[in-house]
Amino acid sequence: MNIEKTYFRPQSIGEAVQLAAGHENDFRYLAGGTDVIVNKFQETETSSCLIDLTGIGEMRQVQTLDHCLSIGALVCLDELKNYPVLAVEFPVLLEAAQAVASPVIRKTATIGGNVLCENRCSFFNQTEWWREAVGYCLKCKGDICIATGGTENCFSKFASDTAIALISLDATISVLEKDAAYVVPLEEIYTGDGIQPRKFNKTTLIKSIEIPLDRGFRSVFKKLRQRETLEFSSLTTVVTTDRQGKIKIVLGGVDPKPVVITGKVGDDPKELIRKAVKKSRIVNNDVYSRQYRKDMITVYLNNSFEALAR
Ligand SMILES: Cc1cc2nc3c(=O)[nH]c(=O)nc-3n(C[C@H](O)[C@H](O)[C@H](O)COP(=O)(O)OP(=O)(O)OC[C@H]3O[C@@H](n4cnc5c(N)ncnc54)[C@H](O)[C@@H]3O)c2cc1C
């Protein structure tokens, strides 16, 4: 097992990005550690340097800015419920956060870490011993995708629940790199490639997440999993409408990136649902079969449209 050789705990964003630039090829940012540290134990994460972000106070703030709510990347999932504005404007985000893992994990897990949680697959999230016995898959330096029986593309599934809710709310993220700071829609950072699921370079740091206020969002959230706690998603769906009549369907757990379908009030929901099912590249890499998860997309989205119509 790889033992961390270096550990830093910067006190400012600038310091963190500088440290990252100095260790570019061999480090990981550490927030709550509920993904990184588990992956280290399973040896799917092998960086020898950890840059712990938890000393950076400015990344813990929740504040109202011009027409948006800004949530610092280090805000823990459990803390979100302490902000009444969320319950009023974005209850779906609270619901998604409460659907992550377990109460203890949510007290440590951050929202920034959640939107960057590593993609998952039943042939990847195993011990080194298990992966070696089965033959390594594409995501851990093997030649082929075992889940699909031999393709050369990785279909590890997108795992973050809050990202699905945030994308449905048109959230953007404020990011910093060594020589740049910019804002990007959250849905644009995901590649669709299961091996490298994000467009970020390794030093990119998420400072905060911004969600537009006063859009009159109404959402329905659903999550399929084996137990009502601890389990990662086998399928997460959110349907959100706004006051202007925009409809946004976002799916997680059924493709290497969030599946996004947009429409407007008056569109035939059945047609939007059909598009969502067609766009999802589901493979047999989960406890539930590919066909069952595919069928459940239609069930969940039908139920969501019915709930929104009531
Ligand atoms: C048993 C168990 C069940 C789980 N169930 C779920 C679930 O149901 N749904 C779900 O979505 N997740 C689940 N998780 C995964 C994980 O707990 C969450 O995704 C969590 O929110 C990750 O946040 P963290 O702060 O712990 O991230 P970390 O583990 O610290 O980091 C995760 C990734 O984000 C990067 N990172 C963190 N913060 C930043 C930042 N500000 N800027 C740039 N990079 C950053 C890290 O380098 C790393 O790559 C589960 C985990 C466990 C152990």
What domains can be seen in the chain, in order of their start residue? 57-212 (3.30.465.10), 218-309 (3.30.390.50)
Burial of 130 (0-12, 13-18, 19+ CB in 10 A): exposed
Query: Taking the chain, what is the end-to-end CA distance rounded to the nearest angstrom?
Result: 54
The model's pLDDT over 189-242, given as tens digits with 9 standing for 90+, comes to 999 999 999 998 889 999 999 999 999 999 999 999 999 899 999 999 999 999
Residue nearest to atom 18 of ligand 1 (CA): 114
Give residue 229 CA to ligand 1 midpoint distance, Å.
16
Question: Which residues lie with the beta carbon below 6 Å from any ligand 1 atom?
Answer: 28-36, 38, 53, 73, 77, 100-101, 105, 109-110, 112-114, 116-117, 159-161, 205-206, 230, 232-233
CA atoms of 255 and 233, how far apart (whole Å):
12
pLDDT of residue 141: 84
The band of 1, judged by pLDDT with boundaries at 50, 70 and 90, is: very low
Residue 281 has pLDDT above 70, yes or no: yes
Q: Supply the DSSP symbol for 231.
A: P
pLDDT of residue 296: 98
The band of 178, judged by pLDDT with boundaries at 50, 70 and 90, is: confident
The model's pLDDT over 136-148, given as tens digits with 9 standing for 90+, comes to 999 998 999 999 9
Residue 34 has pLDDT above 70, yes or no: yes
Residue 4 has pLDDT above 60, yes or no: no
Give residue 105 CA to ligand 1 midpoint distance, Å.
10
Give residue 30 CA to ligand 1 midpoint distance, Å.
9
Q: Give residues with Cβ within 8 angstroms of 218, minimum separation 6.
A: 240, 241, 242, 308
Mutate which of 70, 117, 176, 286 for ligand 1? The one with the most ligand atoms within 8 Å of its CB, which is 117
Instruction: Indicate the helix (H) or strand (E) that contains 167.
Output: helix 161-168
Q: At 240, phi and psi to the nearest 5?
A: -125, 135
CA atoms of 258 and 192, how far apart (whole Å):
8
CA atoms of 225 and 204, how far apart (whole Å):
31
- Other C-beta atoms lying within 10 Å of the C-beta of residue 310: 4
In ligand 1, the atom with minimum distance to the C-alpha of 77 is: 21
The model's pLDDT over 99-147, given as tens digits with 9 standing for 90+, comes to 999 999 999 999 999 999 999 999 999 999 999 999 999 999 899 999 9
Residue 89 has pLDDT above 50, yes or no: yes
Q: Supply the DSSP symbol for 189.
A: G
For the entire predicted model, the pTM comes to: 0.97
In ligand 1, the atom with minimum distance to the C-alpha of 204 is: 43
Is pLDDT larger for residue 201 or for residue 76? Answer: 76
Contact predicate 273/280, CB 8 Å: no
Residue range 22-39: average pLDDT?
94
CA atoms of 95 and 201, how far apart (whole Å):
30
Phi-psi category of 288—alpha, beta or left, where left has phi over 0 and alpha has psi -120 to 50? beta
Mutate which of 8, 17, 29, 98 for ligand 1? The one with the most ligand atoms within 8 Å of its CB, which is 29
In ligand 1, the atom with minimum distance to the C-alpha of 223 is: 8
How would you classify the pairing of strands 218-224 and 205-212? Answer: unpaired
The CA-atom distances, in angstroms, between 168 and each of 6, 18, 252 are 38, 33, 11
The model's pLDDT over 252-271, given as tens digits with 9 standing for 90+, comes to 999 999 999 999 999 999 99
- From the list 201, 183, 182, 181, the residue with the least C-alpha distance to 191 is 201
Percent helix, percent strand, percent coil in the chain, to nearest 5: 35, 25, 45
pLDDT of residue 150: 85
